[in-house]
Amino acid sequence: MVKNKRGKTFSCMKCGETFEAHPPDDFHQVASIKPDGVEDPIKVEYRCKGKGCNHVNVLYWGYQKMSISVG
């Protein structure tokens, strides 16, 4: 596995300060704030560097959930 070099911008859930987060690998490219929002979630914590905030933001990286309908 090769670590993804392209970051994505998110906002701190407490203060709104933006931070850049990188997918943990090439297979887990979709981020969610809930573990059930993606398939095969990997929990990654990001500590806010906003002035005086220090809040730990959690993202779950995974695959996009696919729904299959049988018609």
* Region 43-70 average pLDDT: 90
pTM of the predicted model over 0.85: no
Residue 59: phi and psi, rounded to 5, are -120, 145
- pLDDT at position 71 is 63
- Helices in the chain by DSSP H: which ranges? none
Contacts of residue 18, defined as CB under 8 A and 6 or more positions apart, other chains included, come to: 9, 10, 11, 12
Biggest distance spanned by C-alpha atoms of the chain: 54
- pLDDT at position 5 is 60
- pLDDT at position 70 is 73
Residue 36: phi and psi, rounded to 5, are -85, 5
**pLDDT one-digit tens code per residue, 3-44:** 546 789 999 999 999 999 999 999 999 999 999 999 999 999
Q: Domain map of the chain by residue range?
A: 8-63
- pLDDT at position 15 is 97
